[in-house]
Amino acid sequence: MIEVSLCMIVKNETEYLGNCLKSVEGLFDEVIIVDTGSTDNTKDIALSFGCKVFDFKWINDFAAARNFSFSKATKDYVMWLDADDIIDSVNRERFLALKNTLTPEIDVVYMKYNVSFNKNGDVSLTSVRERIVKRERNFIWNSPIHEALVVYDCNSLYSDIEITHTGEFSAKDSIERNAVYLKEAISKPDCPVNLFYNYSEFLRMNNEFDEAIRMLHLFIEKGGKHSGLFMLACMALHHCYVNKNEYEKALDSLLMYMDSNKPRSEIFCTLGEFMLEKCKDVDIAIHWLNEAIKCPLPNAKEGNYLLPECYYYLPYFLIGKCFIQKREYKRALDAYENCLKYSPNDEEALLLKDKLSKLLSQLT
């Protein structure tokens, strides 16, 4: 069996760290915690779980802190987590199976990351990340913010293990803190291309759509078409132009993705909603939403970022709205019943199903 070091960087993580460490107890052969300046009892929590704790003076560089944490690892392989991540019981078993079967020629293990959840508790955004790397390869982290492992010339394994993020994905203080780092990073000539997209997220949240559009075009011009974020960037451009009532450019933003990539349900759902809500063309909306339903779920290699509800729940929900507008109430009811097969506790779908059922009973 291989041995794996878990390496984490933390600061003031009292709220989350205990849950994270409890979820991984017994999985790793050592746990390295690098503290970047906590003023609470984060380090005491780490020590209570038997972790090796090191201090790192914060220099406004997440990659530097990650690289320092990796330098303290001593086992065959190194894995990373954030303090608000957990490994649930199902994935604990998968992880132990991986340890028993991983062969030395594998340099990198990719895992699915459940990033955020919708109001029904369903996963709304997933990504695929490099989670485990062979220590002797000395892969390094790059970028002072939204850091990423730089892996190359390697044998990779895409595992079935899922890591779950439990923190507040869009915490205001975190976003504003990161925006300061991002603004500084994008001013430098060697800025990683993905940071232009990341900064556009902050701008869009603050309704600064013109500057967000500029950042997104810079992202694309500097090579973003080859990034796993390209689909999200096209959808972000669409969102910006819709908010500026520039509908032709909004449509072109989605078509830009479709011109050179495999069909994705996320794009079709966005097109369908756009046609329904902004263009008022219900039949064209239904066409694109049916295309969304036909799309197969991308595998880990094909879909670095994924909006899962676009592959099961959302197209049916939007088709239901379309048929209500067409006064085809039985077909609308069928659509909401399909919604509820995938998300049985969705309050809005339940309410609409109930209203449509009563309406149809009155009409017959």
Ranges of each domain in the chain: 4-165, 172-363
Q: Tell me, what's the pLDDT at 24?
A: 98
Residue 11 structure tokens:
């600061």
Per-residue pLDDT for 172 more than 60? Answer: no
Per-residue pLDDT for 300 more than 60? Answer: yes
Q: Tell me, what's the pLDDT at 174?
A: 67
**pLDDT band, very low/low/confident/very high, at 170 (cuts 50, 70, 90):** low
Per-residue pLDDT for 113 more than 80? Answer: yes
- pTM of the prediction? 0.93
Q: Tell me, what's the pLDDT at 302?
A: 78
Residue (of 290, 264, 262) closest to 276 by Cα position: 290
- CA–CA separation, 174 and 364 (whole Å): 55
Element (H, E) at 40: none
Task: Decide: 339 and 316 in contact? Cβ < 8 Å.
Answer: yes
323: Cβ contacts below 8 Å, ≥ 6 apart: 286, 329, 331, 332, 335
Residue 314 structure tokens:
């959302």
Per-residue pLDDT for 120 more than 80? Answer: yes
Domains 4-165 and 172-363 agree in fold: no
- CA–CA separation, 244 and 194 (whole Å): 24
Taking only the tens place, the pLDDT of each residue in 327-361 is: 999 999 999 999 999 999 999 999 999 999 999 99
Q: Tell me, what's the pLDDT at 132?
A: 98
Fold of 4-165: Spore Coat Polysaccharide Biosynthesis Protein SpsA; Chain A (3.90.550)
184: Cβ contacts below 8 Å, ≥ 6 apart: 60, 144
**pLDDT band, very low/low/confident/very high, at 171 (cuts 50, 70, 90):** low
Q: Classify each residue of 42-60 as buried b or exposed e, where b means 16 or more C-beta atoms within 10 Å of its C-beta.
A: bbebbeeeebbbeebeeee
Identity (one letter) of the amino acid at 143? S
Taking only the tens place, the pLDDT of each residue in 21-59 is: 999 999 999 999 999 999 999 999 999 999 999 999 999
- Residue 154: strand, helix, or coil: coil
Taking only the tens place, the pLDDT of each residue in 241-255 is: 999 999 999 999 999
User: Which residues sit opposite 269 in a β-bridge?
Assistant: none
Q: Kindly report the backbone phi and psi dihedral angles of residue 207, in degrees, each rounded to the nearest multiple of 5, phi listed first.
A: 60, 25
- CA–CA separation, 361 and 127 (whole Å): 44
Please give the mean pLDDT across all residues of the chain: 95
Per-residue pLDDT for 168 more than 80? Answer: no
Taking only the tens place, the pLDDT of each residue in 228-241 is: 999 999 999 999 99
Considering the segment(s) 172-363 as one domain, its CATH architecture is Alpha Horseshoe (1.25)
Q: Kindly report the backbone phi and psi dihedral angles of residue 223, in degrees, each rounded to the nearest multiple of 5, phi listed first.
A: 115, 10
Q: Tell me, what's the pLDDT at 169?
A: 57
Q: Classify each residue of 11-36 as buried b or exposed e, where b means 16 or more C-beta atoms within 10 Å of its C-beta.
A: bbbeebbbebbebbeebbbbbbbbbb
Cα–Cα distances in angstroms (integers) from residue 239 to residues 200, 210, 223, 313, 340, in the given order: 12, 12, 21, 21, 27
